[in-house]
Amino acid sequence: MDHLNQKLARLCFAVTAVCCLFGVVLELWFSYFHESILPPNAGFTRTFGPGWGSFFNQFVFFTTQSNIILGITTLLLALEPRRSSDSFHIWRLIGLIDISITAIVFNFVLANGPSRGPISHLASIFEHSINPILAILGWFVFGPSGSVTVRRIVIAAMFPIAYAAFTLIRGAILIWYPYNILDVTNLGYSGVSIYIVAIFILFLLIAGVLFVFDRWIRSRLTRT
């Protein structure tokens, strides 16, 4: 990566990190001052907040987690684009795949939820649309290429499994679930399991696409 490309890469990653921070801060600020809402057709009635209960509960949402992971990893790349740590690239892969799942599931499955005003809407635009686009474009243009391996995909795949397990265990204790597709009180464990398996398959499909493109980009770079 020459000096100019490195500067452009730093700028791209920095912009992505700032946009992630902006979206998450807006979301957390809004949640602190408002009571949480129930997912559409929820089978439970528990809510959180306003206050710290609602604030900290936002960290349970897959959207919040994916934006935080993406924001931290792109910030680290803005500071040093040529990172080679195996653990870093696993988290980088988790951030890329999870933010892609966030965009796909929200815009095609969950987008019909009630509007909560301009601040919440703006946070949603950043977290579900702008940040995923920046993430994929930044990865496609600036990489780092050669970072997507089968081993890293397998390890990264543990994250959505852990998220699903944590959400279901916590939900059973609190009788609260972050999304209607994870609402056991309404769908039952069998119904929720279908969605979990579908999202896990989506995770693997996105990982496969990244793997193929990563190999293609790397082969092009080696020929130039």
**Per-residue pLDDT tens digits for 86-107:** 999 999 999 999 999 999 999 8
Confidence grade of residue 212 (pLDDT, cut at 50, 70, 90): very high
Q: What is the mean pLDDT of the chain?
A: 92
User: What is the pTM (predicted TM-score) of this model?
Assistant: 0.93
Exposure of 191 by Cβ count < 10 A (0-12 exposed, 13-18 middle, 19+ buried)? middle
Query: What is the C-alpha separation between 107 and 14, in angstroms, rounded?
Result: 25
Q: In the chain, what are the helix, strand and coil shares in percent, each to the nearest 5?
A: 80, 0, 20
Whether the pLDDT of residue 34 is over 80: the answer is yes
Q: What is the pLDDT, as a whole number, of residue 202?
A: 96
Query: What is the C-alpha separation between 100 and 106, in angstroms, rounded?
Result: 10
What is the arithmetic mean of pLDDT over 130-139? 96
Q: Which of 13-22, 189-198, 212-221 has the lowest mean pLDDT?
A: 212-221
Q: What is the pLDDT, as a whole number, of residue 4?
A: 73
Q: What is the CA radius of gyration of the chain?
A: 18
Helix axes 3-33, 62-79, angle to 10 degrees: 150
